[in-house]
Chain A
Amino acid sequence: MIGGLFIYNHKGEVLISRVYRDDIGRNAVDAFRVNVIHARQQVRSPVTNIARTSFFHVKRSNIWLAAVTKQNVNAAMVFEFLYKMCDVMTAYFGKISEENIKNNFVLIYELLDEILDFGYPQNSETGALKTFITQQGIKGQTKEEQSQITSQVTGQIGWRREGIKYRRNELFLDVLESVNLLMSPQGQVLSAHVSGRVVMKSYLSGMPECKFGMNDKIVIDKQGKGGTTDDAGKSGKQSIAIDDCTFHQCVRLSKFDSERSISFIPPDGEYELMRYRTTKDIILPFRVIPLVREVGRTKLEVKVVIKSNFKPSLLAQKIEVRIPTPLNTSGVQVICMKGKAKYKASENAIVWKIKRMAGMKESQISAEIELLPTNDKKKWARPPISMNFEVPFAPSGLKVRYLKVFESKLNYSDHDVIKWVRYIGRSGIYETRC
């Protein structure tokens, strides 16, 4: 199991050091600094073995978090734990920075004592932790409160406490998708997938039982069998094939496995209900058509056309096209029909920004790139043209069909809950080779 946990600043100074196991000594702290943080070369692996001691690290801005062990631990678990620790710290004091860590070091030690025991991760849900790890101490608790805390921390529903009350029962559902594309210069889709998340903000009283439904092909097909053929044909068109999905620990996985229904008691406040991935029938919101011509050894001509491919009534926002330029670029002239384009020498790229663009439109940019003559034999690698955007629909085609709330003990019904649903599609890694 995890033998120790260290947090360093960018210089390699220790900000937090907590040792859980006897086999980890103080010299481990230095070994990581010398071999990883101060290493001359770029780090080639997130797992490093130094003198039979293994170090796992992740970096958040310029802070290094390292977990140390001498045993054959579950590596996936260690990384999941490090991420979780970052989440917990962020939930307590915001951004993970040297300043914030130093300001909260007592709190961090207290948290580390609670969420990691002898190197074994324990309950690390912030909802639960915040009930008893506060910066004020927990003097004023009644006996009932204490036992409520412990039963929540160890209970089956460790993510929610009893007795939550809202005057207005409300929930917000965000379907956030990032669409990823890799396209060949000829316009052939090399790979495309959508990775989506359903994020929920719930402000519900009591211990509500929720049921979430979407246009999952497997579910629709199952229901379609019972209904008329007409129905099945109709819904079949709208349903989507989900390659795989994962759920927040509140979802009853065995129920999903057997009935493919998503039922759960939600945590209070914001959390991620599920993640999913689709690869079939993806709506690619934009198409990028590049044309690069090398005119002699000192000049490049680039023309890029973008086409929007969705309903004309919808508007895409924050569109940005990034066209890489060679390292030996000396000057660039750009002409674009829409938006603003600029050559950014420090980033070796022409950045073209368009604030808004409706569906089924097209726009283009052309640029002349002057090159300095070099005797470097190596050809320019031509990195792909990448794109960023935001669209108000789900590129996977996912639709929320329902989210039902049942709370038998309190007197509010599904109809009394105010529900909000929003779809946002963003570009993930959206690249076209040129």
Chain B
Amino acid sequence: MTDSKYFTTTKKGEIFELKAELNSDKKEKKKEAVKKVIASMTVGKDVSALFPDVVNCMQTDNLELKKLVYLYLMNYAKSQPDMAIMAVNTFVKDCEDPNPLIRALAVRTMGCIRVDKITEYLCEPLRKCLKDEDPYVRKTAAVCVAKLHDINAQLVEDQGFLDTLKDLISDSNPMVVANAVAALSEIAESHPNSNLLDLNPQTINKLLTALNECTEWGQIFILDCLANYTPRDDRESQSICERVTPRLSHANSAVVLSAVKVLMKFMEMLPKDLDYYGTLLKKLAPPLVTLLSAEPELQYVALRNINLIVQKRPEILKHEMKVFFVKYNDPIYVKLEKLDIMIRLASQANIAQVLAELKEYATEVDVDFVRKAVRAIGRCAIKVEQSAERCVSTLLDLIQTKVNYVVQEAIVVIKDIFRKYPNKYESVIATLCENLDSLDEPEARAAMIWIVGEYAERIDNADELLESFLEGFHDESTQVQLQLLTAIVKLFLKKPTETQELVQQVLSLATQDSDNPDLRDRGYIYWRLLSTDPVAAKEVVLAEKPLISEETDLIEPTLLDELICHIGTLASVYHKPPSAFVEGSRGVQHKRLPARAGSGESAESPEVGQSGTSEAPPAVIPSQGDLLGDLLNLDLAPATTTVPSVQPSMQMGAMDLLGGGLDSLMGDESDTLGGDIGGSPSMGAALGAPAAMPAALSNAPAVGGGLGDLFDLGGGVGMPTGFYVAPKTLFLPAMKAKGLEISGTFARRGGIIQMDLSLTNKAMSVMTDFAIQFNRNSFGLAPAGPLQVLTPLTPNQTIDVSLPLGTTGPVMKMEPLNNLQVAVKNNIDVFYFSCQYPLSLLFVEDGKMERQVFLATWKDIPNDNEAQFQIKDVHLNSDAASNKLQGSNIFTIAKRTVDAQDMLYQSIKLTNGIWVLAEMRVQTGNPNYTLSIKCRAPEVSQFVYQCYELVLKN
């Protein structure tokens, strides 16, 4: 009975003995031997040498022995592919066995034999099993398709197994449906663009029906699959939600979490004023709380998810603070997560309770937990203004305990409180100073030094305190050194008479004796500032600091939305997108929440959430080699565009440093404005946009608008309208560029080509140091000036810039011709995208050809080069059309009228000197124009035609 004896045989010559036993005539002995082999395999011994002997035992009617042999086979078949073929016959035979358990066993096992030569033999048995009369065999076969697909995807497709699998979604047995869904979901994941899991209302209905009947695991597969579906409208969304909500009462936490995922996602589509929306919100809270009474490991998974849910929809759990109170016996990982959620839920209503709890936690044993609790008190102070006073006094109490790490943590958070509420709690500085000696962590030392420097005028012995730090300057960490340098400079500016010596000392320590470039640079800047203009130095160093924001560790919105789509999974536990920890193609596609019904963006978003069909993002530039070289030049771009990133306390000051540069920049900007005569209404709008422009420019939009109006009038009386500017399109989604979103368009204004860009910061941190570079392209487009982003781009801010372009850059033919590959750099990284510009950008103003020359050229260009196009649905007469076209530098040279048909002869000249000739036939009453284009470089015809379309239809 006791099988443990198999684990103990470790003597030499074992393999030989086993071999003899395996070939024994006695069944019992054989079985014993196989068990020994499996035991050896488990502990990691190599028993592959016994392969033929074990496989010989396969043909048996003893099911237990068969299962053991199969287990061996799964492990070693890959290392002995030739031998593995011996097993094929048995599999084929077993798949015909009258006992469904044996048929299923065979189909289950053969999918695990990862040998290419064998897989082909397995297709026939698998096909039979997929249509087996017994559901147990079918559900096993469904999973086998996924196994086979993992070995040889092509084979599965060729054999048509995918279609059979799709049919199984309509199977009468719920478990078969569940396994088919699981298999299809997995296969679909490795084919992001296949429409494999073709989710439509009919299949969704089938899945929802199966949901009520299948096992707990099957429910999870189905719910996870449902979460990939995007309902057509809010009504469908609501009806699915209604059928999913009962799952919230399931005993299995995974079923509950997967249901929560579906609801959280589909809720996005429901209008907020709907009654049902409120009902749903209320229904979500109890099951989430119940998850916290599960086993600790599941609590941990639940808490990580609740952390996301609370950030996305704080209203769900706002009244449930108490359940997140830490219990003395909770495992540490549960405690830390609960603490995080407590801070997120803290509000004026519950702050008293929360603080009492946090104070309690700060006396616990686990160092990490205590630190986090202290930090949490500080965060409460910053989040809930009314509680700040109480928080500060709690922190002071904690400092009195003299527990080293508690004191240090408290000082770090008090610094933040000072930054949030200046001139309010400085009375506590004295208490802080008493603890100077016990600080041994860089962060706490730096915080303390910052406090001393910032409030130097109120601390009598500030110079002594700072001097004491200066003694071991070179042993300090960089963080402390930088802070000390700034603090002493601040002190000097406040009390110049007594501290001259001190400041000299620190400047020389920082610049001459240090080899840290940051420190040296900052030291030199201060030195020069102090020596040239002390007043300016004061303005820079003692500048007003911006208040710090409430919540610092929120997950950035785009990532949060993605993680909400992954509730219950590992991604939600790690708080990272799957691509960060999954290798290969699986999980790389980003999931997104559906757009709310009726919102403006719904036009493009609804299908995005679907498993495969996200809209095609701009192609990433393939030849990075060239570009990298080009990008190196970026550093040489004029310094005025970049704001050096410095320590937080310095940021404002550093920006002021650039004040001088700013004026000249504004000058440039107004020049550009001046050059914009000939603009159009849309141009006025484009100018109106830059909200982030310096105040001096604020009158500019009005001017632009006025000009536009004038020309609008003119347009009515036959003057050419301006260049058509397409609305901005998304060039670079935030997802691909660490939170930087770029959209833009192109315009030609008064002979100058411009690229209008909107940069939006969707990340959580400030972006600076913008620069732009183009890859070589067909017409030599290149930036004619630097990308002028004057101020750092703060989170959620959008800035509009116009980049003048020249056409003298390096030329390389692109595919398509008007493709432009762009690299944008900021302080975070370099990002690449590609976009397409209208060719009309390159139509020059002197493109009007002499009539005679036109005739001659037309004849001269071979007829092969002529291309014909249809422009449909244009409701303009020939004059209006020709006016419109002229706005884009397409010039009408002559007009002929034959049989109520106007023939317009037109010429265009490109920036690189290529002439394009066109004949446009306009028939009165017929909205369709015929366009013939002749050009010596016929590849441009297609793009010229596109410009016609664009101009005439807008």
Contact = CB atoms under 8 A, between A and B. Distances in A.
Interface in A369-384: 377-379, 381-384
Contacts of B297: 46, 56-58, 79, 82
Interface in B303-329: 322-323, 325, 327-329
Nearest to B288: A244
Contacts of B322: 190-191
Interface string A128-163: 000010010111010100110111011110100000
Find the residue from B136, B253, B300, B571 having the highest chain A CB count within 10 A: B136
A120 B568 contact: no
Interface string B194-227: 0000000000000000001101110011001000
Contacts of B328: 383-384, 386, 429, 431
B176 A154 contact: yes
A237 interface: no
A15 B243 CA distance: 43
Nearest to B583: A52
Nearest to B221: A120
Interface stretch (B47-55, B95-103, B453-461, B730-738): B95-103
Interface string B351-365: 001001100100111
A113 B67 contact: yes
A45 B586 CA distance: 25
B3 A80 contact: no
B287 A154 contact: no
B251 A272 contact: yes
Contacts of B954: none
A257 B64 contact: no
Interface stretch (A248-256, A313-321, A336-344): A248-256
Contacts of B220: 74, 77
Contacts of A420: none
Nearest to A276: B290
A275 B63 contact: no
Interface in B731-779: none
A325 interface: no
A74 B566 CA distance: 9
A117 interface: yes
A22 interface: yes
Interface string B858-878: 000000000000000000000
Contact of A277 (B147, B289, B327): B289
A368 to B, nearest CB: 23
A331 B514 CA distance: 58
Interface string B553-596: 00000000000001011111110001001110011000000000
Given A80-B298, A150-B100, A182-B325, A13 B43 contact: yes
A77 B150 contact: no
Find the residue from A77, A83, A122, A139 having the highest chain B CB count within 10 A: A77
B254 A120 contact: no
B461 to A, nearest CB: 25
A75 B570 contact: yes
A99 B5 CA distance: 10
A70 B249 contact: no
A166 B254 CA distance: 36
Interface stretch (B122-130, B138-146, B496-504): B138-146
Given A13-B43, A83-B295, A105-B42, A137 B301 contact: no
B21 to A, nearest CB: 16
B293 interface: yes
Given A45-B300, A154-B173, A249-B215, A72 B332 contact: no
Find the residue from A74, A153, A277, A381 having the highest chain B CB count within 10 A: A74
Given A44-B333, A120-B143, A137-B63, A132 B569 contact: no
Contact of B289 (A149, A243, A431): A243
A262 B44 CA distance: 50
Nearest to B174: A156
B916 to A, nearest CB: 53
A150 B290 contact: no
A381 B363 contact: yes
Nearest to A116: B217
Contact of A72 (B114, B251, B296, B566): B566
A46 B143 contact: no
Interface string A75-90: 1110111110000000
Contact of A257 (B137, B245, B289, B296): B245
A26 interface: yes
Contacts of A19: 75
Contacts of A382: 363
Contact of A143 (B98, B329, B569): B98
Contacts of B249: 244-247, 253, 256-257
Contacts of A20: 112
**Chain B contact surface mostly:** helix
B300 A72 contact: no
A277 B566 contact: no
A106 B31 CA distance: 11
A52 B582 CA distance: 7
B537 interface: no
Given A109-B67, A138-B63, A139-B61, A150 B134 contact: yes
B217 to A, nearest CB: 4
A71 B582 contact: yes
B247 interface: yes
B175 interface: yes
A26 B217 CA distance: 27
Given A14-B44, A110-B64, A156-B174, A72 B582 contact: yes
B343 interface: no
Contacts of A151: 135-136
B252 interface: yes
Interface string A47-64: 101001010111000000
B38 A106 contact: yes
A113 to B, nearest CB: 7
Contacts of B245: 257
A272 B250 CA distance: 12
B136 A195 contact: no
Contacts of B295: 58, 79, 83
Contact of B42 (A16, A135, A156, A386): A16
Nearest to A272: B251
Contacts of B332: 42, 44
B136 A103 contact: no
Contacts of B569: 72-75
B403 interface: yes
Find the residue from B61, B111, B300 having the highest chain A CB count within 10 A: B300
Interface of A: 1, 13-17, 19-23, 26, 29, 42, 44-47, 49, 52, 54, 56-58, 69-77, 79-83, 99, 102-106, 109-110, 113, 117-118, 120-125, 132, 135, 137-139, 141, 143, 146-147, 149-151, 153-156, 158, 182, 184, 190-191, 193, 195, 243-249, 252-254, 256-257, 272, 274-275, 277, 377-379, 381-384, 386, 429, 431, 433
13 contacts: A44-B332, A46-B333, A106-B3, A118-B144, A118-B146, A122-B139, A190-B322, A190-B357, A246-B249, A246-B251, A249-B215, A253-B250, A275-B251
Interface of B: 1-4, 6-7, 35, 38-39, 42-44, 61-64, 67-68, 70-71, 75, 98-101, 104, 108, 111-112, 114, 134-137, 139-140, 143-144, 146-147, 150, 173-176, 179, 182, 186, 212-213, 215-217, 220-221, 224, 243, 245-247, 249-254, 256-258, 286-287, 289-290, 293, 295-298, 300-302, 322-323, 325, 327-329, 332-333, 353, 356-357, 360, 363-365, 401-403, 566, 568-574, 578, 581-583, 586-587
Given A19-B75, A103-B1, 18 more contacts: A17-B44, A71-B570, A76-B254, A79-B297, A81-B217, A83-B298, A99-B4, A105-B3, A117-B140, A122-B179, A139-B61, A153-B136, A182-B327, A190-B357, A243-B289, A244-B286, A248-B251, A257-B245
10 closest A-B pairs by beta carbon, nearest first, are A244-B286, A102-B4, A150-B136, A76-B254, A257-B246, A77-B254, A253-B246, A72-B578, A46-B297, A121-B217
